[in-house]
Structure 1
Amino acid sequence: MSKSENKVASYAIIGFGSIGKALAKAFARKGIKVSVATTRQPESFASAAAAIGPEIIPTTLAEAVKADVIFLAVRFESHADVAKALPSWQGKTIVDVTNAYGVPSEKMGGQPSARFVAQAFTDGKLVKGFNHLVAAILDQDPAVHGGRRVVFLTSDDTAAAAEIGALAETLGFAPVKLGGLSEGGLLVQAHGNTWGKLIFQDMVKFD
């Protein structure tokens, strides 16, 4: 096995609001290290990170984007600012946790929001996921009633979807892949002032 195949992926969460913290807790529950960053200096949220667990590493945006897998847990309007942190996102997987509720379709050229976000992250692989649950639910242990809480994943890159599916399993969730961004993706994205059919559906899978 080559060194690259043997390499353990590194993870980062951009955004440390209620969703970012809920994601950080999922990593901490499994003892997996994850960097967290915002546009603020890491000292400003270091105590909140420490309260979740030693696996949560506060850092700068410039450092966080060095990770292999980056969870985009910012306001939809802020995704372009994050994208400017690197000229190319080649070799990186971006998990789009944003919700474009209230954003007119014309502002995104009539595209699904995840595809619009994907365009900002030049050369990166984008997976839409972990966005359909409210923070209070995402915050909870995904082991429920003897099953696992479902997270929906959609991507135009099947390898990236498989990678995030495996990570979701490691974090204790049951990943359900919905296909490409323009097909299944529409079920988990806001459309102007309406929500996709699967948004807020709190489902549990029994193996």
Structure 2
Amino acid sequence: MLSGSFLPVISGTMQNYLKNTELKMKFEQQKQNPAMPKANEEKTAKQREIEKFQEDLAKINEGNKTASLDIKLWAGGELTDEELQYLKQKNPELYQRAMDIKEERRAYKKALERCRTKEEVDRVHTSKILGFMSDVKIIQSNAGAFGEKLVEQINCRMAGISSEQTKFIKSTKYRALPTEQEFRKGKRKKKEPPAVCEQKNISYYKIVRTQLKNKLAGGRLNKMID
């Protein structure tokens, strides 16, 4: 059952539909009989009130959508191309902020992908967050009332970075990263094969040299026999 709060909207919609139908009929009659009064001249105060209400409702819906996209950024969400295009047309300031956050997240993601160990990933994230906190302290001590808006923007940026961090930690790429201890052990193992090869080369050289000596000794012995 619909609540009472929805009845005015439904009633207004139905009246608008009926009125549009009536206006169309009046328009057709006007074309056939130009002496008749025009439809828009017959608008009553109630009809104008309904139209004003519909315009206000459209503005409210538009404001609600913009607010919902702002909240999405606050929560660390990523806006779709369609949502960005909407902001570009309806709210250029919020659109620019969303694009800045998108670019910052892209750069941060690349920084994470360059990490060679899990600990390095943690250090990159810690460094980024500490940078945000430092910016907030500077703003709060110097920017005054205007600083609140700047702090809000930093909070949105921080949410985006934290979201990117969470996504990366859940990825297979992160799980494949070694710890720093494992990384150091891996480097030592990579250094061992050349030493083994060197020993093998030395052993091979000794064998070849022994064979060569034997051949030379055999040749001298043959000459002595001859």
Q: TM-score scaled to structure 2, two decimals?
A: 0.21
Report the structure number with the largest CA radius of gyration: 2
Structure showing the higher helix proportion among its residues: 2
Q: TM-score scaled to structure 1, two decimals?
A: 0.23
Structure showing the higher strand proportion among its residues: 1
